[in-house]
A = this chain, B = another copy of it.
């Protein structure tokens, strides 16, 4: 098993990071056929998922859930508003806060969202238990990365 190249574990296919990176893109592509006809992108769909769970969430809290900042969310939410899925409204009790509310249209598309997920789950080959197991492992990895990465101190 002699290696003609100095193999230091830096082969692309050996990398967990690349596996995750490329699979994330594959997920986005897998959802696209279901979302595109609605005029939704995948990150926009994630925002709607949060709102389906609890309406009137502040931008900041959406950011915490999705790990995104206002630089990403503000324009995204404006596009969602323009497309008629949500309403953006300043919190009268704290004028710094902008709360996001679903419109009727925003609530309507939940059905289609559920169908989208069903289709993708199907493509994954069934077994919900396996999927949940994998999800837990991937989430754990994310938390470890987030714990290891932050500021030096």
Contacts and interface: CB of A to CB of B under 8 A. Distances in A.
Interface of A: 5, 8-33, 42, 46, 49-50, 52-53, 65-67, 110, 113-114, 117, 120, 122-125, 131-132, 134-135, 137-139, 141-142, 144-149
Contact of A16 (B10, B15, B17, B134): B134
What does DSSP make chain A's interface, helix, strand, loop or mixed?
A: helix
Q: How many identical subunits does the complex contain?
A: 2
Nearest to A66: B22
Contacts of A32: 149
A22 B142 contact: yes
Contacts of A147: 123
A26 B68 CA distance: 11
